[in-house]
Amino acid sequence: MYKKNIYKIVSNEPLTPAVYRMVLEGDTQYITRSGQFINIELEGKYLRRPISVADYDDRSITIIYKVVGRGTEQMSRLSIGTELDILTGLGNGFDTDNSSVKPLLVGGGVGVPPMYNLCKRLISEGKQPKVIIGFNTATEVFYLEEFRALGVEVYCATADGSAGDKGFVTDVIRQRALEFDYLYTCGPLPMLKALYDATEVDGEYSFEERMGCGFGACMGCTCKTKYGNKRICKDGPILKREEIIW
The 10s digit of each residue's pLDDT in 199-244 is: 999 999 999 876 677 777 787 788 999 999 999 888 989 999 999 9
pLDDT tens digits, 97-142: 999 999 999 999 999 999 999 999 999 999 999 999 999 999 999 9
Q: Is 202 exposed, middle or buried (0-12, 13-18, 19+ CB in 10 A)?
A: middle
Q: In this predicted structure, what is the pLDDT of residue 1?
A: 65
pLDDT value of position 3: 77
34 band by pLDDT with thresholds 50, 70 and 90: very high
pTM, to two decimals: 0.96
| Closest CA relative to residue 57, chosen from 4, 5, 120 | 120
Q: Which of 28, 25, 12, 26 is nearest to 65 (CA)?
A: 12
CB 84 within 8 A of CB 6: yes
